[in-house]
Amino acid sequence: MSKEKAEVQVEDIELADHPKLRIKFITWNVGNEEPEKSEVSDLYGDLDTIDIFVVGLQECEYKAKSSFSKEASSQSKKFHFPSLTESVLKEKNVKLVTLAVVHFGEIYLHILVKPEIKEEITWSQSSMERTGIGGVGWNKGGCVFALEYKRNTFCFVSAHLAAHMEHLDRRNADFQEILSGTRLGEQSICSRIMQILQFGSGSGHKLDITKA
């Protein structure tokens, strides 16, 4: 299996009156094939300085030959790749814990944080939105997770959108559909969130939205 469709990004997020957060993003179109554990470990790299680790997966449905569920957290236990991620982090002796796993169809969003940060998260919510004709498919759309940490709100979106440059307008329209269609409580995403960080297969960009 190849990591050619995987991307890694690290962002330092400045917070008012608090130390900055270091967030590492992994987005990977898995191609519906089970990855080798060593391959995942190499891709994740050094996580010792990371406060929040976000793994977004697309085309991640396969018949697994291995199992890591025995020692997995309750959120990850029923999913192979999130259980694999926790096993990799344990071998690396990285002290990150699963905050949430959001999943629909072939799309996953796995959020892991330092335990001390988890204690300071005062609100969180997950959602998902299908895109395309009628919004009924399971292959295109986005998984969404939002949280509030020390009065700062963040939203992470793992999306699987139409590929190739000729579909740029379609991708932008689908992303707007994800934002407008996802409700966090009674509000839309954009009405509550300070920063939206979007990534994924076919997304082509990361979008930061800072609200006044």
Q: Does 168 have pLDDT greater than 60? A: no
> Considering the entire predicted model, what is its pTM?
0.83
Q: Kindly list the distances between the CA atom of residue 155 and the CA atoms of 95, 166, 171, 196, 204, in Å, as whole numbers in the listed order.
A: 22, 28, 19, 5, 18
Output DSSP code: residue 37.
H
- Give the model confidence (pLDDT) of 60-72 as tens digits: 899 999 999 998 9
In the chain, % of residues over pLDDT 90: 41
Backbone torsions φ then ψ of 51, nearest 5 degrees: -90, -40
pLDDT-based confidence at 35, cuts 50/70/90?
Answer: very high
